[in-house]
Amino acid sequence: MNMIMTPLGKVEQLSENLIKVTTVLKKATDIKLVQRHVEEIEEHFGIDHYYLSDPRSLLSTTLEVRQYLANQKEIKAIAVLVKNGTTAMLANMFVSFSRPLYPTKVFKDETKAIAWLVEQGANAPKK
């Protein structure tokens, strides 16, 4: 399917309404860069998608960036991939404190994350 690179990372269309975002930066602290990332995704793929987010290379972000991402109304649901139990705990804290406007769940396994997104309404990826 389609793939683009944004200032934040690689964005791949896995199905008609399922997008995978792989962060390649170590820090996501510049809100303008993150806003440009979101704008480029919407320009290229449209809105109202399900997202598989892979921020495992990301080491730090800011409260401003996390709040901006949590308030995206065009997201149907998001599954976040993490490296281990510690990062899963931190990601779950982000979810509980940020209260995203969309269903959000943390996973260590990409296959399980995609299965959950399909349960939420995403079209399964083409093989």
What per-residue string of b and e applies to 14-27 under the rule 16 or more CB within 10 Å gives b?
bbebbbbbbbebee
For 59-114, write each residue's pLDDT tens digit. 888 889 988 998 999 899 999 999 877 777 777 777 777 778 899 999 999 999 99
pTM for the whole thing? 0.90
Query: Helix, strand or coil for residue 81?
Result: strand
What per-residue string of b and e applies to 37-76 under the rule 16 or more CB within 10 Å gives b?
bbebbeeebeeebbbbbbbeebeebeeebbeebbebeebb
**pLDDT value at position 1?**
66
For 70, the token pair is: 């949590």
